[in-house]
Structure 1
Amino acid sequence: MQNLSRRELIACGVAGLAGLTGGAPLNAAEKTSPLPTTSSRVRFAVSTYSFWQFRNEDFHSVEKCIDLAGEMGFDGVEILHRQMEREDNDYLQLLKQRAFVNGLDLCGFSIHQGFLNPDPAVRKRNVDHTIHCIELAYALGIPTMRVNTGTWGTSKDFDELMANRGIEPVREGFTEDIGFQWVIDSLRECLDTAAKCGVTLGLENHWGLGRTSAGVLRVVNAIKSPWLKVTMDTGNFLEDPYSQLEELAPETVLVQAKTYFGGGHWYTLELDYPRIARLLQEQHYRGYVSLEFEGKAPPLEGIPQSLQLLKQAFANS
């Protein structure tokens, strides 16, 4: 079966509804006319990372982040796997219930893994970790999970990677083509579990071979599975962001929206969110926009400011 983009699936659904309700056959003009731009409102989530940021220990508790998200008026929460205190089923169900009583969806799960390593055993461990996390997402009732290509590991640390604007040399003796094949083969091993659990993997533009939209789409288009789509991060394109975001939009199932109130920890981008909202609307995106706050402002100040910014941008799109 041909793999359809989200936009094509929506078009098929609209056509099917017309047939089911006894609508008259479409004439040629109607067949080629664009879908209406009016759609259900975009819903806003917040990543637990936005509170914690790997540095704010007062906000390490995922339960506390869920409570705060509810109080601030978000619709959903995206959980950062590394922030979870445990993985036992009692804890997973506690988080699910905590979101429910706050009127929130658990809408995304972000994990860290990578496949850019010449050692097959290392890649296998990352495949196993990804499969394990898919099963955690299933237990939490989360429908999509962020995955990465990983980085080459040739930077001293993340600070050096960011100082070099995400650019790093390929491992000596290897090529990007070889690296892409590692990523493609590794992700393919995860897709049976993703399909069984109903968890759509979203490959993020998150450094490594995913630093560009071309890199992300090279992997997604090579695999051609309905269970591998795109997680769009608005703040991870440091050059020519809008054209690259537009390229990712048709395959996007979750948007991670970066903001930088108080200045960014590694860099600050002046993102045009009304423009981003319009390009998503043009692709009939109806999924979550999940805030990833990366500013130095206190989270209890910067996160509500960010929610207001995003609501205004998407209200005017």
Structure 2
Amino acid sequence: MKIGLYSITYLGLWYDGEELTLPQMIDRAAEYGYDGIEVDGKRPHGNPLDWPTNRCRDLRRLAEDKGVPIYAVAANNDFSNPVPEVRETQICYLRELIRMTADMGAPTLRVFLAWWGVTRHPRLASYDIPENYWPIVHEKFSHEEIWSWCRDALVECAQYAGDAGVTLALQNHKPLIKDHRDVLQMVREVDSPYLKVCLDAPLMPDRSTAGIEAGAREVGDLQVLTHFGGEFERRADGSIRGFERNDGVVGEETERYYRDFVRAMNAIGYEGYIGYELCHQLPVVNGRTVGIEYAHESARMAAEFMRSLIDAEAPVGSEVSR
């Protein structure tokens, strides 16, 4: 696998400070040893309203010249809204993102079925408000009806993707999707060669060794994109400890299940990107959320952490294992 940096890390949402521009983020990715970048499809980074074709191609050349090509764009779409006009605006948004993805030279656009979004109040991001109103908006509609709206939208968008030579990667992300089986069901129902899978380990409800192996095996060659997350600290011996943080509480360590995931990806022959994303509430120190330096250190250690796992699990006979 190759290691990517997802630009949501530097969107200025989760740390206390300003965003990096995409050219600035490209420089950071190159400095920290990433193999490529994924552009988040919203302001201030990748909203297609801000990225006409010429500007996309300029960014593509810059990224390639720095040795960190744009390997994916990430949509923040929601096809589940009960209001048809809202769903239609989301289809328009995704069609424009498909155009932008092609112009940036990226083969893949990450998509959701449903997405509750984030709010900024007063500066930093929060999931709380949209997570709470999503059930209210959908409470009068059955799962089957909501599912059909999402399927119809994806069928249409897969046609646009095919016209542009872009592959859509459906992520195993809440709230409508529970696990990889839901992703695979939707892919089967859409039945397009331009819709594939983005299976992410942190989003799997069963992260046991057996659960990860089974998920990877069932997804198989449909896997075209994946991500990892969390936070990191350096131990006294120089190694890096990875861990999760949920609602400010330090939780499960990540090394075991990421090692299992890398091994499972090797087993199915996946050689694409695994992108680092920092997209959750961060520590508060002296009454203030940490700043961009925390994001810098997280991105730097994330690349080292994942590189060590990939190297350790490299198949015998591969370039890395030599």
TM-score, structure 2 as length reference: 0.76
Deviation at 1:152, TM superposition (A): 7.0
User: 1:277: which partner in 2?
Assistant: 262
Partners of 1:212 and 1:88 in 2: CA distance: 36
User: 1:114: which partner in 2?
Assistant: 78
3-state SS in 1 of match to 2:229: strand
User: 2:184: which partner in 1?
Assistant: 217
The reply on whether 1:264 has 2:245 as its aligned counterpart is: yes
Structure index of larger Rg: 1
The AA in structure 2 aligned to 1:129 is Y
User: 1:60: which partner in 2?
Assistant: 20
Deviations 1:229-264 (A, max 9, x none): 111222223x31352643445421001111223763
The AA in structure 1 aligned to 2:45 is M
3-state SS in 2 of match to 1:315: helix
Q: How do residues 1-317 of structure 1 correspond to structure 2 at under 5 angstroms?
A: 42-52=1-11, 54-56=13-15, 57-82=17-42, 83-84=44-45, 86-151=50-115, 158-159=127-128, 168=135, 171-237=138-204, 239-242=205-208, 243=211, 245-246=215-216, 247-261=218-232, 264=245, 266=247, 268-271=251-254, 272-294=257-279, 296=282, 298-317=294-313
Deviation at 1:66, TM superposition (A): 0.7
3-state SS in 1 of match to 2:86: helix
Partners of 1:94 and 1:175 in 2: CA distance: 45
Partners of 1:282 and 1:160 in 2: CA distance: 40
The AA in structure 1 aligned to 2:312 is N
Are 2:72 and 2:106, in contact at CA under 8 Å, matched by a contact in 1?
yes
Deviations 1:131-158 (A, max 9, x none): 11100101111100011011479xxx72
3-state SS in 1 of match to 2:38: strand
Partners of 2:128 and 2:219 in 1: CA distance: 26
Partners of 1:177 and 1:276 in 2: CA distance: 31
Deviations 1:46-83 (A, max 9, x none): 11112335244443311110111011111100011113
Deviation at 1:283, TM superposition (A): 0.8
Partners of 2:82 and 2:228 in 1: CA distance: 33
User: 1:14: which partner in 2?
Assistant: none
Are 2:52 and 2:100, in contact at CA under 8 Å, matched by a contact in 1?
no
Partners of 1:183 and 1:227 in 2: CA distance: 16
The alignment-based identity, stated in percent, is 25
Partners of 1:168 and 1:291 in 2: CA distance: 29
Partners of 1:161 and 1:283 in 2: CA distance: 36
User: 2:239: which partner in 1?
Assistant: none
User: 1:28: which partner in 2?
Assistant: none
The AA in structure 1 aligned to 2:206 is D
Partners of 1:151 and 1:66 in 2: CA distance: 27
The 1:49–1:249 alpha-carbon spacing in structure 2 relative to 1, beyond 3 Å, is farther
Deviation at 1:172, TM superposition (A): 2.6
Partners of 2:197 and 2:40 in 1: CA distance: 17
The 1:160–1:214 alpha-carbon spacing in structure 2 relative to 1, beyond 3 Å, is farther
3-state SS in 2 of match to 1:189: helix
Deviation at 1:276, TM superposition (A): 0.6
Segments of structure 1 that go 5 or more residues without pairing to the other structure are 1-41
Partners of 1:161 and 1:280 in 2: CA distance: 33
Are 1:256 and 1:289, in contact at CA under 8 Å, matched by a contact in 2?
yes
Deviations 1:202-229 (A, max 9, x none): 0111212223222212211111211001
Are 2:231 and 2:245, in contact at CA under 8 Å, matched by a contact in 1?
yes
The 1:221–1:269 alpha-carbon spacing in structure 2 relative to 1, beyond 3 Å, is farther
The AA in structure 1 aligned to 2:307 is K
The 1:66–1:232 alpha-carbon spacing in structure 2 relative to 1, beyond 3 Å, is same
Partners of 1:109 and 1:269 in 2: CA distance: 29
CA RMSD of aligned residues (A): 2.7
